[in-house]
Amino acid sequence: MAVLTLALKTLRHRKAAFAGAFVTLLCAAALVTACGMLLETGLRGRVAPERYAGAPVLVAGDQYVHRTIHKSSGKTKHKAKPIAERAWIPASLTQRLRRTPGVREVVAEVTFPVGTKNGQAQGHGWDSAALTPFTLAVGRAPKAADEVVVDAGSGARVGTRFDVLTPVGPAAYRVAGVTRQALPSQDTLFFAPAEARRLAGRPGRVSAIGVFPTPGGRPDVAAALRGTGALQYTGDDRGAVEFLDAEQARVKLVSLGGALGGTSLLVAILVVAGTFALSIQQRQREIALLRAVAATPKQMRRLLGGEALVTAVVAGLAGSAAGIGLGFWLRSRFVALGAVPEHLRLVVSPFPAFAALLATVLAAWVAARISSRRAARVRPVEALGEAALPTARLPWPRLVAGLLATAAGVVLTLVLSTLSTEAASSPVTMLTALVWTVAVSLLGPLLARAAVALLALPLRASRVGGYLAAANLRVASRRLASVITPLCLLVAMACTILFVQTTMGHAAQREIAAGSRADYVLGPRVPGSAARSLREQPGVEAVTEVLHTSVRVGLTKYGAQAVTVEGLTRTTDLGVVAGSLRDLGTHSMAVSENAAGRLGVSVGDTVRLTLGDGTPATLNVAALYTRGLGYGDLTLSHALVAPHVDNPMGTLYVAAPRLTRAELSALVRAVPSATVMDRAEAVTASAPDAEVNYVAMGLIIAFTAIAVINTLGMSTSDRSRELALLRLVGTTRRQVLRVLRLEAFAALAVATVLGTGIALVTLTAFATGMTGSPTPYIPPLTYLGVLAPTAALALAATALPARLALRRHPAEVIGARQ
């Protein structure tokens, strides 16, 4: 208790010294809380049903692929992974459910995408209106094939013409009725039941079945479904079936929140350790005096640990509260970018805040104990000597730890160069950069002394300011190392995050540019009828229909494209190295060399996979190709995939060298969603959207930038006595500021070289594994965009505290520090 009281008094009289540690811990707690909220939303988030709100029990397909893994120990483990498309079920289940005791009514429905002038809508048969339930406000139910009922939000009136784009092509319907209701997050159209089933294109299958029990009845729906592959859903589980994008977003949030939270915590530990190390380094005179008046090493460790705990608890509580707001902001950005649907609400509970507080306190305590270990053990006479002139010797435990971190960085770099999937390489990439930064941090004083030796000559050429800057850097290499670490981390993290995306995007675009043979690309949602019509037009040599989906081989997910084979070589060159695309059909597929290596297959081998809607398929490998980054790991037949995707309207690659863009646009004017692009525009538009990653990882960059400001501000503020002495011996304010600027430029130069080197090593390994080329793509302007703000932060964080210190009279400063 006495030590804690002393710690509180120390904090009260050294507010400025602990401000940097407080801000760092507060930001760390906020970041970890926000990441924890994303992770918890991915694990426990629920979506309330809208379309199926009126059905107490819903029967639908299983949206997961299941595998039972038998371990060598004799135990078995069940794993499940989500599929990409909606799993449809046999329509014959309606009769089985009707015969189930306790069931009053059974309502089956089909769901399919429809394009309208207001955007995307969902089409259904009027016989399934009771699932919401929808009722008519005006008009009547659709009876003829050319009639439609629209919802209350459409703005249409009974008797008017209503143009839509359906999976079978554009069509005009007459509005027969308008519903009294409209769903919050989806526009709804109702067609005549037979017409709806024709448009859905799934004969004999339905997307869901609503079950209505008799009053007081409890039908055993699960027993009726046994052996069919269909499942029953109640409560909010109905929303998961209705909004498949929400379920897919939950999976993304689990991986994103976990990766971002883990990276944030590692960065926080590194930054907090550096901040406490600098704080203790600045207090060596105070620690020396305490040791000289008989304070034991144990008491010193408890004192410093107590200060860290008090600071961490206060900062952790404030940061956890701020993190809740940050979590809501992150969700709003992800919703705006389309990564998270609006109806997936953020889960708010005390667990992320509590975990962030615990992690912050633990990180601060460990950082303080490690940083104070040597200061507490040094003997009193040595402590007073070191306070006057810090030693340049690096403690052997720190040297050993630095060498181990370097070895770990080498191992991770070698591992990263062998990873060829984004799911495996992404977390290892960030970990590799962090481990290399830890090695730089531990070996910082040695690297700083070597850097000062190299910078001494150019600095001394700058007369008085350069001479003083060189002398200061040579004497205070440990202080320079403390400043270099956050700057190095900022450059390394920013370059790694940015250029991982540019490397992948550039490699994919390069392959698409090399493989593109089409003169025009039409998309993004064009029905197959438009493709058939174009093939018959004069001047059109070939039309390739392309759909994008994902399949699973076992539990592993692979990106896939589905193409029509006729005329494929005229529009696309996949870089076939074995086999032939002419053999591509409903029982075969083409595989990229990368995927073939992971699957261990070659031409003629058989692969068992699960299509996007959960349908199993066994396909022969007809060809191997090289351009998997640009065109997907697997290439399947359009005829095979189209019946198993939610939206069969895709992209058209058109070979029509004799037609102008205007002429081609006129040929597809009946399809409002068909945007015509030339080859160059199509290649540019194929760049992957990495904004979600930039928003998420940008928080870590912002946190690191705050650490840079804290560290440089603490370092400069602690030198007020030194600056006052320089003023007393005749150095002008301009010369003092020039010395500090030169020191800041020197630290920035060293940190830039080290940070860029870490990023280059990491990116080279990443590019080797993911693209097959060891050369990452680093746009020069983007790189300068990283360095310029970093330099501005470094100079501002150095100049502002220095100007404040220089406003006071030198004698006043020296008297206050005695």
Phi, psi for 171 (deg, rounded to 5):
-155, 160
Residue 126 has pLDDT above 90, yes or no: yes
Euclidean distance between the first and the last CA atom of the chain, given in angstroms as a whole number: 29
Instruction: Report in angstroms the alpha-carbon separations of 620 from 576, 579, 596, 613, 633.
Output: 16, 11, 12, 20, 15
> Which tokens go with 668?
């597809």
Query: Is position 149 within any domain?
Result: yes
Q: What is the tens place of the pLDDT at every residue in 594-638?
A: 999 999 999 999 999 999 999 999 999 999 999 998 899 999 999
Q: If you compute the radius of gyration of the chain from its CA atoms, what whole number of angstroms results?
A: 33
**Dist CA 614 CA 228 (whole Å):** 13
Instruction: Report in angstroms the alpha-carbon separations of 520 from 637, 661, 665.
Output: 21, 8, 10
Give residue for tokens 């597809």. 668
Domain end: 195, 225, 241, which one? 241
Q: Which of 79, 85, 82, 84 is nearest to 66 (CA)?
A: 79
Helices of type H across 347-461: 350-377, 380-388, 396-416, 422-442, 444-460
Query: Is position 645 within any domain?
Result: yes
Same domain, 74 and 147: yes
User: What residues contact 291, with CB distance under 8 A and at least 6 apart?
Assistant: 300, 378, 379, 380, 383
> Which tokens go with 86?
């909606």
**Dist CA 46 CA 41 (whole Å):** 8
Residue 818 has pLDDT above 60, yes or no: no
> Which tokens go with 665?
């646009």
Same domain, 131 and 37: no
Query: Do residues 210 and 57 make contact, with C-beta atoms less than 8 angstroms apart?
Result: yes
Query: Is position 815 within any domain?
Result: no
**Dist CA 581 CA 590 (whole Å):** 7
Query: Is position 716 within any domain?
Result: no
Q: What is the tens place of the pLDDT at every residue in 690-730?
A: 677 777 777 777 877 877 777 777 667 666 666 667 777 66
Lowest mean pLDDT: which of 77-86, 244-253, 555-564, 647-656? 244-253
> Which tokens go with 620?
């022969």
Query: Is position 755 within any domain?
Result: no
**Dist CA 165 CA 649 (whole Å):** 10
Q: What is the tens place of the pLDDT at every residue in 491-508?
A: 898 899 889 988 988 898
**pLDDT of the residue at 13:** 53
Domain end: 241, 275, 297, which one? 241
Is residue 511 packed enough to be buried (19+ CB in 10 Å), middle (13-18) or exposed (0-12)?
Answer: buried
Same domain, 38 and 136: no
Residue 167: which domain range? 57-241
**Dist CA 560 CA 548 (whole Å):** 6
Residue 392 has pLDDT above 60, yes or no: no
Query: Is position 295 within any domain?
Result: yes
**What 3-state class would DSSP assign to 728?**
helix
Query: Do residues 197 and 203 make contact, with C-beta atoms less than 8 angstroms apart?
Result: yes
**pLDDT of the residue at 2:** 52
Same domain, 194 and 248: no
Domain end: 241, 275, 290, which one? 241
> Which tokens go with 415?
């591992």
b/e 757-780 (16+ beta carbons within 10 angstroms → b): ebbbbbbbbbbbbbbeeeebbbee
Same domain, 124 and 14: no
Query: Is position 410 within any domain?
Result: no
**Dist CA 254 CA 263 (whole Å):** 14
Instruction: Report in angstroms the alpha-carbon separations of 84 from 186, 550, 623.
Output: 20, 6, 25
pLDDT (mean) for 167-178: 92
Same domain, 199 and 169: yes
User: What residues contact 283, with CB distance under 8 A and at least 6 apart?
Assistant: 14, 17
> Which tokens go with 631?
């065109």
Q: Which of 449, 390, 454 is nearest to 722 (CA)?
A: 390
Same domain, 251 and 339: yes
Same domain, 185 and 145: yes
Q: Which of 208, 240, 254 is nearest to 97 (CA)?
A: 208
**What 3-state class would DSSP assign to 738?**
helix
Instruction: Report in angstroms the alpha-carbon separations of 470 from 363, 461, 731.
Output: 35, 10, 16
The fraction of the chain above a pLDDT of 70, given in percent, is 84
Written as one letter, the residue type at 189 is: L
What is the greatest pairwise CA distance in the chain? 101
pTM (two decimals): 0.83
**pLDDT of the residue at 735:** 75
Q: What is the tens place of the pLDDT at every residue in 426-473?
A: 888 988 998 998 898 888 888 878 877 777 667 666 665 666 666 666
Q: Give the side-chain half-sphere CA count within 13 A for 100.
A: 25
Same domain, 164 and 292: no
Q: What is the tens place of the pLDDT at every residue in 1-41?
A: 555 555 555 655 555 556 767 887 888 888 889 888 988 88
**Dist CA 462 CA 743 (whole Å):** 12
Q: Give the side-chain half-sphere CA count within 13 A for 528.
A: 14
- Overall domain count for the chain: 3
Query: Do residues 433 and 407 make contact, with C-beta atoms less than 8 angstroms apart?
Result: no
The H or E element containing residue 131 is none
Same domain, 27 and 82: no
Same domain, 138 and 161: yes
Query: Is position 160 within any domain?
Result: yes
User: What residues contact 463, with CB distance under 8 A and at least 6 apart?
Assistant: none
Q: What is the tens place of the pLDDT at every residue in 175-232?
A: 999 999 999 888 999 999 999 999 998 999 999 999 999 988 888 988 889 888 899 9
Same domain, 265 and 156: no
User: What residues contact 536, with CB distance under 8 A and at least 6 apart?
Assistant: none
